[in-house]
Amino acid sequence: MPELPEVEVTKLGIEPRVAGLIITDVRIFDGRLRWPVPIDLKDILKNQTCKSIGRRGKYLLFELTHGYLIIHLGMTGTLRVLPSSDPLKIHDRVTLEFGKLSLRLHDPRKFGAVLWHPKSKGPIEQFTLLQKLGVEPFSPEFSGELGSEILYQASRKRSVAVKQFLLAGQAVVGVGNIYCSESLFEAGIHPAKAAGKLTRPQCSRLAKAVRLILKKAIDAGGSSLKDFVNSDGDPGHFMVQTKVYDRKGLPCKVCKTPINQIVQGQRSTYFCPQCQKR
């Protein structure tokens, strides 16, 4: 599932190619996504200029002349910029046409989303799906010890495991399953430790680890397990850098202890029992 690094990589690849261009056409081949694609999307978007592309959590925010187009990649979605003359693929769901360029949402499982928020309804921050998201990990609000304090305060009296606390995204967004395991290893915290028992020093290490791991993942082009490719069709390479994720039974790269695997909330978690003592 594309997480924050993969969505950021997608944004970085798309924005230089379509920002400033005018949408000349919108084609909906199958609008039955997680939420139905607005049937009048073509009428809404045609002739609007794409001013910029932002990101909030895992949502891509296309700022247009009269509002925001919001795209979520779901479980298996990808966005690619291709020549409009390139043939369509079987799971292409929606395309935005920019003259001779085509921005195509390819989504085999149809868990993605294409939504519209007009400026007449207020700032994009007021969009329902964005209101409850935690702070952005690279924002000033999460920098330095501010991030540590956010994690510390949000985790108080929480009995849920710290892995699940991070995955929920209500304190800080974007720490998906792979990045949870890697961040907790970097911070030396056992994934089953109750969030409410985190100390301030642990929260400080964890906040730094989250920023470090997510930056490494973005620099590596994200993680490709099955479906993810960037806007040019290239896979991400972060998986070759992981220290614990998907390394069950292999020696820890720090202490040589075999990496363990457990299941938390139906998701696999990997950790070193020596470096991450409970």
The residues annotated as belonging to the active site are: 2-3, 58, 267
What DSSP designation does 243 have? S
Q: What is the 3-state secondary structure (H, E, C) of 141-174?
A: HHCHHHHHHHHHHHHCCCCCEHHHHHHHCCCECC
CA nearest 29: which of 91, 76, 72, 79? Answer: 91
Q: Rounded to an integer, what distance in angstroms lies between the CA atom of residue 231 and that of residue 15? A: 10
* H helices present in 75-157, as ranges: 144-155
CA quadruple 237, 240, 242, 244: dihedral sign: positive
H or E element in which residue 181 lies = helix 177-187
Round to whole Å and give the CA distance between 110 and 29: 12
Q: Is 228:6 a contact under the CB 8 Å cutoff?
A: yes
- The torsion of the CA quartet 109, 111, 116, 122, rounded to 10 degrees, works out to -160
Q: What backbone torsions phi and psi does residue 210 show, to the nearest 5 degrees?
A: -60, -50
Distance, CA of 188 to CA of 278 (rounded, Å): 10
